[in-house]
Homo-oligomer: A and B are copies of this chain.
Amino acid sequence: MAGKHGEPMNFASDNWAGVSPEISAALGEAGAGVAPSYSGDSATARTVERFRELFETDLEAFFVGTGTAANSLALAAVARSGGAIMAFCDSHLAADECNATEFQTAGNKVVRLPGRLGRFSADTLAEALSLYPEGSVHHGRPVAVSVTQSTEIGTLYPLEEIRAIADLAHAHGLAVHMDGARFANAVASLGVTPADASWKAGIDMMSFGATKNGCWCADAVLFFDKSLVGDFEHLRMRGGHLMSKSRFVAEQFLAYLAEGHWLDLASRANRAARRLADGIAASAFGRLAWPAEANEVFGVWTDAKSAELRAAGAVFYEWPFASARADAGPAEGENLLRLVTSFATTDEEVDAFLAVLNRS
């Protein structure tokens, strides 16, 4: 998979990238030695401490193996029989996780809220909540709301919208969850602190993902509201998600969070996305579907152009327009295409891609 000059031009997904050299080195150094299993080791304890510093608050942190595990187990901690979990209709947890949340919660319902460009609004949440009469055993009961930041299609919630959603949710007794599979990209893009972007905006618990941003397997569930931890540790074990040598997850996190490495990685991906988006916006052969606010770029161009790009070695996916909930979609003969950048994306591969795009 190489471009004209050997550039990979791979924009398939940020989870196609490898491991950052710093994190790889840390893993290598940590390989030897003996340490307690099942999160009883000192690296895990240091990582939890590190999360507390980073988020400037007390919190609990638990490691799991995947983002899907993080989402579904976090929500399982607050689920109840007949529970309803509110999320954007095409969010990852609602549409791309094979019912993991429904399963881990023994059948809680993921209520799919409509919206635009990957986001729902507080008003939409209010309308959805209005359909649940107080005390009705028939309708079930809302238990949580989940927002994804950055979203599945590379947009961002303004922090005030998250705050409005969270305030409404809390007024109804719901827990507020953030799917932060790309939280680093959001923080880097927004230029705020991790605290601002999470608990200060009303988030109670978060799936903190590092796998898409330079780790190989590092996801954590953070509970800013420690009272929500509940049975989380039993749920994690019951789900087969307590790793015996979880100290290696800790080692990844320690390297990831050291000296701003995580934000460096995310900023690289974001910069590459901006370069790519700017190039597409300026191109005569394609256009930007909507602004790229994090590390995902959505473009629209013809099938012929896609074929040409692929022939040149570019890798990217067609995306169903319906799930974007955007105003203007591809015309006849055009397609919506998703390009994802990562910490490993180089200016060279972006430019090589744009060169083919602009080739008449």
Q: Which residues of B contact A21 (CB under 8 A)?
A: 31-32
Find residues 286-343 in chain A having any chain B CB closer than 8 Å to their own CB: 320, 322-323
Please tell me if A280 contacts chain B, counting CB pairs below 8 Å. Answer: no
Q: Tell me which of B216, B242, B245 contacts A245 (CB under 8 A).
A: B216
Q: Are A243 and B98 in contact (CB under 8 A)?
A: no
Q: Which residues of B contact A108 (CB under 8 A)?
A: 99, 102
Number of copies: 4
Please tell me if A110 contacts chain B, counting CB pairs below 8 Å. Answer: yes
Q: Which residues of B contact A137 (CB under 8 A)?
A: 38, 98, 233-234, 236-237, 242
CA distance A102 to B103 in the complex (A): 8
Please tell me if A164 contacts chain B, counting CB pairs below 8 Å. Answer: no
Find residues 62-98 in chain A having any chain B CB closer than 8 Å to their own CB: 64-73, 76, 80-84, 95-98
Please tell me if A35 contacts chain B, counting CB pairs below 8 Å. Answer: yes
Chain A 258-276 against B: per-residue CB contact (8 Å), 1 yes, 0 no? 0000000000000000000
Please tell me if A150 contacts chain B, counting CB pairs below 8 Å. Answer: no
Q: Are A127 and B322 in contact (CB under 8 A)?
A: yes
Chain A 14-34 against B: per-residue CB contact (8 Å), 1 yes, 0 no? 011111010111011011111
CA distance A120 to B68 in the complex (A): 31
Distance from A356 Cβ to chain B, minimum over Cβ atoms (Å): 18
Please tell me if A115 contacts chain B, counting CB pairs below 8 Å. Answer: no
Nearest chain B residue, comparing its CB with the CB of A215: B245
Please tell me if A4 contacts chain B, counting CB pairs below 8 Å. Answer: no
Which A residues form the contact surface with B (CB < 8 A)? 1, 8, 10, 12-13, 15-19, 21, 23-25, 27-28, 30-38, 64-73, 76, 80-84, 95-100, 102-110, 112, 127, 130-131, 137-141, 211-212, 216-217, 231, 233-245, 248, 320, 322-323, 344
Please list 15 pairs of residues, one from A and one from B, whose beta carbons are closer than 8 Å in the complex, sorted by A's number: A12-B37, A65-B240, A66-B243, A69-B240, A97-B138, A99-B108, A99-B109, A100-B239, A104-B240, A127-B322, A137-B237, A140-B234, A217-B243, A239-B240, A241-B241
Q: Identify 5 new A-B residue pairs, CB closer than 8 A, beyond the known A8-B34, A21-B32, A66-B240.
A: A18-B245, A24-B32, A107-B238, A112-B112, A131-B322
